[in-house]
Structure 1
Amino acid sequence: MFVAFLLISNIAATKVTALDAGPVHLVFDGGALLFPLTYILGDVLAEVYGFGRARRVIIMGFAASILASLSFYLVQISPIGPGYEAQESFEAVLGFVPRIVAASVIGYLAGQLINAFVLVMIRQRWGAHRLWARLIGSTMVGEAADTVLFCTIAFIGVIPGYEFLNYIITGYVYKVAVEVVLLPITYRVIAFIRRVEGLYGQEVLAA
């Protein structure tokens, strides 16, 4: 799920969306739909399995993103077959993916690794208590690095002036808000995985 959400977000992020909510003008990209969930899953991985295991999954996502970008590029430059008339549309959407992937990979690696590291550090300092502080605190720091790096690399020069600043702020606030809103679900998922993993471990030892 972590890798799938990342890949889907990279493609969806090629579309920039604007929303007028009364006097507030919000600018964000299509990746906002699923990408925040990668941070929630990253929190679950780091909390249950530790930084080392979480890092391995993060690297898997990195490798899958590079593979997807390379595949889209090779398809884009391949000869156009008879009857195919969507080459320009293909290039307009998926041809922009390499820049999105470059932005995503850099922001994603920095943000996710910082997120996992901060969560584990808070746990080591405060113990197993205050799970909410670990989840929200690590997301605030990780998402800050991810959002600034991604937005700058992906859309600097594409989204003008004030709209670009709006884009960064809107994206950051939205992603952190998703983490806060879904906190009760994250708690339940962590508890469920710990319970299942504990039972699995006992069965292995018994065998």
Structure 2
Amino acid sequence: MNLNFDFTEKRVIITAFFCMAFTIANLITVKVINIGFLGMETPAGVLIYPLVYILTNVIADVYGEKIAQRTIILGLCVDILFVFMTTLILFLPSPAYYTGDSSLAFVFTQTPRILVASYISYLIGNFVNARITAKVNEGKEYSSTKNLGILAFSELIDNFVFIGLAFVGVFAVTDILIMIVSHWILSLIWSAIAQPFTKMTVKWAEKGKPAEA
């Protein structure tokens, strides 16, 4: 098996992981994790959602802001297809012996308000991430410190928009702020740990880059 991927093939691989990470994040968010520290609780999506921002960062840095924007839209379209199909199966009849309908409904039924909030925050946060990454890194070598700062800012916007839109009027303002900060801190830790691997991914993707790319 030949694993020497060219510049375009690497973009396809990164895009595939990007789309899958976003879809997985929205799926596993149904699970709430007890962090066991200072009463912190957070949706399980925090385990993989930072990868979406990291890959947006990589794509914008290596392939440019326009490609990053197209990838963000593609990720949204992929998740909409996933939501459509998983919602469709809930309405299709099952044979009498099948007992999994209630479990499927618990996992795949998404509150429209939360789903819309997720999509809005995803678009705003990732577009901001792509814009800043493209501007800050234009013609410069990858910097873990700068990119971690970009990720921290973008993820804070995402958390503020998503949690704010999803839970305003449902929970107290103080509780919402605690959720925003908790989710942001965990995302920031995740992103910081991943920085060496992010830098390696950027260098890997840039190998074989055409002069005009």
Q: Which TM-score band applies after superposition, normalised by the shorter structure?
A: 0.7 to 0.9
Q: CA RMSD in A?
A: 2.2
- Counterparts of residues 19-98 of structure 1 (less than 5 Å): 19-21=35-37, 24-96=38-110, 98=112
The number of residue pairs the alignment matches comes to: 195
**Change beyond 3 A, Cα 1:54–1:84:** same
Q: Measure how far apart 1:158 and its partner are.
A: 5.6
Q: CA deviation at 1:20?
A: 1.9
Percent identity over the alignment?
Answer: 27
Counterpart code for 1:83: Y
Contact persistence 2:25–2:45 (CA under 8 A): yes
2:165 matched residue in structure 1: 153
Structure 2 unaligned segments of length 5 or more: list them: 1-16
Match of 2:117 among 77, 89, 103: 103
Q: In structure 2, what is the Cα distance between the partners aligned to 1:80 and 1:61?
A: 31
Tell me the equivalent position of 1:164.
176
Higher helix share: 1
Which residue of the partner structure matches residue 193 of structure 2?
A: 181
Cα deviation per residue 1:129-151 (whole Å; 9 max; x = unaligned)? 46224312221221112111222
Q: Deviations over 1:63-106 (max 9, x none)?
A: 01111111122111222332222323322221126554322211
Could you state the TM-score of these two structures normalised by the residue count of structure 2?
0.82
**Residues 130 and 88 (structure 1 numbering): CA distance in 2 closer, same or farther, change over 3 Å?**
closer
Indicate if the aligned counterparts of 2:151 and 2:191 stay in contact, CA closer than 8 A.
yes
Whole-angstrom CA distance in 1 between matches of 2:103 and 2:176: 25
Q: 2:125 touches 2:154 (CA, 8 Å); kept in 1?
A: yes
| Aligned residue identity for 1:121 | K
- Please list every run of 5 or more consecutive structure 1 residues that lacks an aligned counterpart in the other structure: 203-207
C-alpha separation between the residues in 1 aligned to 2:108 and 2:206? Answer: 39
User: C-alpha offsets along residues 156-184 of structure 1, whole Å, 9 cap, x if unaligned?
Assistant: 45656644332211111111222222111
Deviation at 1:55, TM superposition (A): 0.9
